A and B are shown apart, each in its own frame.
Chain A
Amino acid sequence: MADKSTLQYTSEHEWVLVDGDVATIGITAYAADKLGDVVFVDLPDVGAHVENGKVVGEIESTKSVGELFAPVDGEIVESNQTVVDSPELVNTDPFGEGWLIKVRFADLPELMSFDEYTALVGE
């Protein structure tokens, strides 16, 4: 499980872990809690080009549908098939096994720090 305090965040309640030119992206525990039990995850294919701010996937709970936004421009290098098969990982381990996609990027936009994100959700 990633150290939450060192991750970066988006206002769409995604976390971003940067390692070189690859960003690993998931949704935060706050977002997972708001969704309820996740029962279906739709992720983009490897090789797909994604654009910052555009919807690239869906996260469905029994109650509602959440959209996954790409926080960077780039190319999908991996989609988490384990979470496709076991969507509940988004709830049980959102910052770890429940990661969603890895994107290779050229430029990283400005993202929120842990403190900024914590202030945003008020927790």
Chain B
Amino acid sequence: MSEERFSPLHQKHLDAGAGFTDFAGWMMPVRYSSDLAEHHAIRTAAGMFDLSHMGEILVLGPEAADALDYALAGRLSAIAVGQAKYSLLLARDGGIVDDLVVYRTGEDRYLVVANASNREVVAAELRDRCSPFDCEVQDESDDIALIAVQGPRALEILLEVPGLTVDDLGGLKYYWSRAGLFGDHAVLAARTGYTGEDGFELYVSPEAAPALWDAIVETGAGSGLELAGLASRDTLRLEAGMPLYGHELSLDTLPVQAGLGRVVNLNKEGDFVGRAAVEAGPAGNARVLVGLRSDGKRAGRADYRLFDGSDAQAAEIGIITSGALSPTLGHPIAMAYVDAAVSAPDTQIFIDVRGTRVPATVVARPFYKREAH
């Protein structure tokens, strides 16, 4: 086990009394006081996460767009400067190496944001895949901190943060970003997130991050802003039906199985890594990702098995990848891979909850969708 890594905001978390968890070798806040309070704050007001553990990899150069079209599943050359796109890094056999958000920050400049657990492999793959092209790949993860402010009041809070200046932040569209300043430090402000709410992610230098964190805490205090840890982040993204690498996504999963067929652009000219395997498709009996809901309070959780009946003879038909009692909805929800035959909405199945068969219904994702404003 390599040495534990600490966020540039670690002292802030200690001062706030956070409890910590190891996440991909990083000591990160799991909660500050209450998972549920943090979850509800983001649904109803605002919450702030430290995501400095995530990987930030720059791809720069005249052929950066072409290189990413080859390296990733989407057509990154088609997005405008300022736009962002959710994408996948596929293995040659079509399995998912990581899911990513890619920001085009200039005509020949992209910022690729990878999961903390996959930072090294993503950087190595990008270097390898981009090497035939006229561009450079730079892993900047250690030099970039990331603060996410999420929730319906995120915008009004950020507009009032002293020293933070981003032109027309309110006019920034979902999945767009814009360069700004905090004091004299550069900030990339993006309207992206992983909670199912409106919100922003702020990329900033580790030196400026603590002061920005403090300024947001102070500004948000009157607006119900809570510091939020990874526990609430997990229940928020689960309600929003968003996959988490290592749970819903893996090297053994083809994008179409995870419901991410739309992320792979087969209309792209030229080859990209994983194309042939994606075109061939998964085996006919491959399992697919579905949503499940059940009644009561007992949640199916990751690795719990699914059956087509409640008796001992019932066949095993799938496995849960993430599950919890939904804090917003009040009933258990889960994501699971199931046999295609039982993947249609309204299909009744059973979750083995530590020896008890709990009935569940296949439902569409997301489980929770915020009201349009």
Interface residues of A in 46-65 (CB under 8 A from B): 58, 60-65
Interface residues of A in 37-82 (CB under 8 A from B): 37, 39-40, 42, 58, 60-65
What residues of A have a CB within 8 angstroms of the CB of B34 in the complex? 36-37, 91
User: Is the CB of B345 closer than 8 A to any CB of chain A?
Assistant: no
B7 CB to closest chain A CB (Å) equals 20
Q: Tell whether, in the assembled complex, residue B299 and residue A60 are in contact, meaning their CB atoms are under 8 Å apart.
A: yes
Q: Tell whether, in the assembled complex, residue A63 and residue B231 are in contact, meaning their CB atoms are under 8 Å apart.
A: yes
User: Is the CB of A115 closer than 8 A to any CB of chain B?
Assistant: no
Contact of B301 among A33, A65, A91 (CB under 8 A): A65
What residues of A have a CB within 8 angstroms of the CB of B354 in the complex? 58, 65
A-B contacts, CB under 8 A, total: 41
Contact A60:B325 (CB < 8 A) given known A37-B35, A65-B301: yes
Q: Tell whether, in the assembled complex, residue A33 and residue B235 are in contact, meaning their CB atoms are under 8 Å apart.
A: no
What residues of B have a CB within 8 angstroms of the CB of A62 in the complex? 35-36, 39, 231, 235, 324-325, 327
Q: Tell whether, in the assembled complex, residue A63 and residue B35 are in contact, meaning their CB atoms are under 8 Å apart.
A: yes
Contact A61:B35 (CB < 8 A) given known A33-B19, A39-B325, A40-B325: yes
User: Is the CB of B234 closer than 8 A to any CB of chain A?
Assistant: yes
CA distance in complex: A58, B324 (Å): 15
- Encode contact with A along B9-45: 1 for CB under 8 Å, 0 otherwise: 0000000000100000000001100111101000000
What residues of B have a CB within 8 angstroms of the CB of A63 in the complex? 30, 35, 231, 234, 324
- Which chain B residue shows the least CB distance to A42? B298
Interface bin, chain A:
10 to 19
Interface bin, chain B:
10 to 19
CA distance in complex: A60, B323 (Å): 12
B182 CB to closest chain A CB (Å) equals 32
What residues of A have a CB within 8 angstroms of the CB of B37 in the complex? 37
Q: Tell whether, in the assembled complex, residue B297 and residue A40 are in contact, meaning their CB atoms are under 8 Å apart.
A: yes
- Encode contact with A along B292-312: 1 for CB under 8 Å, 0 otherwise: 000001110100000000000
Q: Known pairs A37-B35, A39-B36, A60-B325. 20 more at Cβ < 8 A? A: A37-B34, A39-B297, A39-B325, A40-B298, A40-B325, A42-B298, A60-B297, A60-B299, A61-B35, A62-B36, A62-B231, A62-B235, A62-B324, A62-B325, A63-B35, A63-B231, A63-B234, A63-B324, A64-B301, A65-B301
Question: Could you tell me which B residues sit within 8 Å of A by CB distance?
Answer: 19, 30-31, 34-37, 39, 231, 234-235, 297-299, 301, 324-325, 327, 354
A-B pairs with the 10 shortest C-beta distances?
Answer: A40-B297, A37-B36, A36-B35, A37-B35, A39-B325, A62-B35, A63-B231, A62-B324, A37-B34, A62-B235
